Amino acid sequence: MEVLRQLGLEETVWGHVPPSEHWRRFRYCTSLLGDDLAVMDHFRTEEFKFLGSLSPCRVAQLSQPILENILSEAANAAAESSGAKVLTGHIVQDLAPRSEDGGVNVTIRPTNGGPPTTVAAQYVVGADGTRSAVRRALGITSRGEHDMESFASIHFTSRELGKRLAKDRRGAMLSFVFSPDVLGVVVSHDLRRGDWVIHAPFFPPAQSLEDICGTEEACIEIIRQCCAPMSTHKGAEDDPLRDLELHSVRAWGMHATCATSFAGMGNRVFLAGDAAHQFPPSGGFGVNAGLVDAHNLVWKLAYTLQGKAGPSLLASYDLERRPVIEDALSVAVDNYRRGLLPARAMGLERNLVATAVSMLGQGGATLPWAGDLVSGMLTVGKQHLRSPALVKSRVKRVVEEDQDALPLLFPRTDKGFRYFPEAGGVARPASSPTSTPRDLSPSEFWLKPRLKRGTQTDIALGTSPGQALPHAWILERDSNLRLSTIDIISAQLPAYTLLYAMPSIWRPALETLHQKYGKAKTDRVLRGVALVPLQSPDGTTGDTGDFKEAVYVYEANSPWEQLREISERGALLVRPDGHIAAQLAGPSSSTPSASPRDLSHDILDVLEELELRINCN
């Protein structure tokens, strides 16, 4: 959401978000209209309270196709205003390095069957999903846990069902259905539109998609059992599924994998999103991680193309993003195991079935009775569900009392990471497990210790290099508008920000740079922003001379006083993606007379260390 806020899209997104009452809970139930076994309200957790102080953005649920439309409209508008061309309806077939200038030739083919053509690119970003052709062309493999689980996903709509659940105040983002007849997870995309997807597990190669969803009738039967079995309503007129429309059925496999590198061809080609990493849905990290990949990469490409940066800037993409992703993957796998605990408490051992399938091996699993064996095991497992009272008390303990089932909010994973390329990784709390995912045997899978509770609120906020600029509420001095510190970083003008509390110290240094290189050139790399205490004379006086800088103020006792971690004489150099590049100490209070020239040298020294150049064409 913070990335979308920076792009000016936050309000548009909120225009589509359903009321939180419709999605703030996870339900564990016998069917959507049946009995609740347990309910987890994620707005009553420590993580939710903590998030409120961590970000100006609120948590939202939005279905992916709607978000993709919003992003695609924004991308088309940006392309139109900048003269760029968006080419759709083409498939990337292959890439080849170009010896003349180090660029990349990309072979593309129209999807309607025309002949292939070649595009001469300077840089390529492969955001082409799990089966990435770009990743394949680079010869990069993925490491981690492949084929953790397989699901049939059934997409359907029923407004009547949505209305009934909204009226009964039983809306939930996820409903885990456990009944002797069916096991499945029902995802509610929007109760108002009655838009749903059911994910029902199956066990290939002993079972296939056709075995469980081979006909329309079989799919409708699964939908009915998960949502509204006949026992939950009085006849056809009362049937909440009377307007049911089945849209699609497909199989998907769950993986927790990460590409061994996010860059190739000498940092001319990059991988982002699912092309670089595949998350299990447990945690909802997939889209978020892809957005942050892009947020990390695009300004680096712009700086490099404009000649403002040396090669280390683009090289930092892989060094920064991959460890963050590996850390998030370990959280997602932990979530997945946590998500199985309620079923386990009911005596449903998913892993026993998975172990039986793996014991049969590839050959054995295709024997005619292999599918029957799996169905038989599942039927035996589901017998426990015929004693709802016993099951209910066990599930309630895991979900509501111990809060040891699948969580929804992950402040540390989403917000608490720190880019730390020097150490080849991210700084992470000691309680975090080893990061690199790898294949685990079924017994290892369960024996691996789970993450400690509370890990997600264990974040050190601050302004060390690599950390995200922390959020605190501030005011824009001229308009008195209430903003966040993170709003200081503009997406419209991607430049580093020199953020200081004492303009009288830092303005002259910037003016020296303006005189040396010209204001326009300096501003393209680095702009000054003042964030001053409300009572400070620096905050209330007007700008000096030609120097126009944005001025923000913070009130007395603002959390910013602690969060900024530097003295009020210092300055922070913040990257265009909001991560801290450097802390500059400024003159000490005992030698306040450091000349503007000295400080401009300090700034230039830091820029040189970062391989950034103001003096470029």
Residue 294 vs 483, nearer CB to ligand FAD: 294
Residue 64 vs 393, nearer CB to ligand FAD: 64
Q: Say which amino acid occupies 132.
A: S
Select from 79, 84, 91, 460 the one that contacts ligand FAD (CB under 6 A): 91
Least distance between ligand FAD and beta carbon 28 (Å): 18
Give the tokens for residue 229. 């079995």
Select from 34, 184, 273, 437 the one that contacts ligand FAD (CB under 6 A): 273
Least distance between ligand FAD and beta carbon 229 (Å): 24
Residue 144 vs 273, nearer CB to ligand FAD: 273
Residue 334 vs 538, nearer CB to ligand FAD: 334
Instruction: Report how far apart, in Å, the C-alpha atoms of 583 and of each of 244, 464, 466, 468, 575 are.
Output: 59, 7, 11, 13, 12
Judged by CB under 6 A, does residue 251 bind ligand FAD?
no
Residues 426 and 415: their CA atoms lie apart, in Å, by 12
To the nearest 10°, report the CA torsion of 380, 385, 387, 393.
130
Judged by CB under 6 A, does residue 274 bind ligand FAD?
yes
Residues 89 and 96: their CA atoms lie apart, in Å, by 21
Residue 143 vs 163, nearer CB to ligand FAD: 143
Rg (CA), the chain: 27
Judged by CB under 6 A, does residue 288 bind ligand FAD?
yes
Least distance between ligand FAD and beta carbon 45 (Å): 18
Residue 291 vs 498, nearer CB to ligand FAD: 291
Least distance between ligand FAD and beta carbon 131 (Å): 6
Residue 290 vs 528, nearer CB to ligand FAD: 290
Residue 124 vs 526, nearer CB to ligand FAD: 124
Binding string, residues 52-71; x marks residues near ligand FAD by CB under 6 A: ------------x-------
What end-to-end distance do the CA atoms of the chain give, in Å?
35
Stretch that binds ligand FAD, among 98-106, 283-291, 365-373, 496-504 (CB under 6 A): 283-291
Least distance between ligand FAD and beta carbon 337 (Å): 17
Judged by CB under 6 A, does residue 290 bind ligand FAD?
yes
Reduced to 3 states, what is the DSSP secondary structure of residue 169? Answer: coil
Pairing, β 124-126 against β 269-271? parallel
Residue 64 vs 515, nearer CB to ligand FAD: 64
Judged by CB under 6 A, does residue 92 bind ligand FAD?
yes
Judged by CB under 6 A, does residue 2 bind ligand FAD?
no
Judged by CB under 6 A, does residue 74 bind ligand FAD?
no
Least distance between ligand FAD and beta carbon 88 (Å): 9
Residue ranges in 121-160 that form contacts with ligand FAD under rule CB under 6 A: 127-129, 133, 153
Judged by CB under 6 A, does residue 281 bind ligand FAD?
yes
Give the tokens for residue 151. 């699901």
Judged by CB under 6 A, does residue 287 bind ligand FAD?
yes
- The site that binds ligand FAD (CB under 6 A) totals a number of residues, namely 19
Contacts of 494 (CB under 8 A, 6+ apart): 298, 299, 302, 303, 576
Residues 485 and 269: their CA atoms lie apart, in Å, by 33
Residues 405 and 479: their CA atoms lie apart, in Å, by 46
Long-range residue pairs from 46-54, CB within 8 A, at least 24 positions apart, any chain = 46/454, 46/457, 47/407, 47/408, 47/409, 47/410, 47/411, 47/456, 47/457, 48/409, 50/411, 50/456, 50/457, 51/409, 51/411, 51/415, 53/559, 54/411, 54/415, 54/459, 54/461, 54/471
Judged by CB under 6 A, does residue 252 bind ligand FAD?
yes
Chain-centre distance of CA 538, in angstroms?
39
- Contact of 151 with 200, CB cutoff 8 Å: yes
Least distance between ligand FAD and beta carbon 288 (Å): 5
Judged by CB under 6 A, does residue 119 bind ligand FAD?
no
Contacts of 214 (CB under 8 A, 6+ apart): none
Chain-centre distance of CA 421, in angstroms?
20
Residue 506: what are its φ and ψ, rounded to 5°? -95, -25
Judged by CB under 6 A, does residue 184 bind ligand FAD?
no
β strands within 98-178, DSSP E? 104-110, 117-121, 124-126, 142-157, 174-178
Residue 208 vs 288, nearer CB to ligand FAD: 288
Helix, strand and coil in the chain, % to nearest 5 = 40, 20, 40
Stretch that binds ligand FAD, among 285-293, 353-361, 569-577, 604-612 (CB under 6 A): 285-293
Q: Return residues touching ligand FAD (CB under 6 A).
A: 64, 91-92, 127-129, 133, 153, 252, 273-275, 281, 284-288, 290
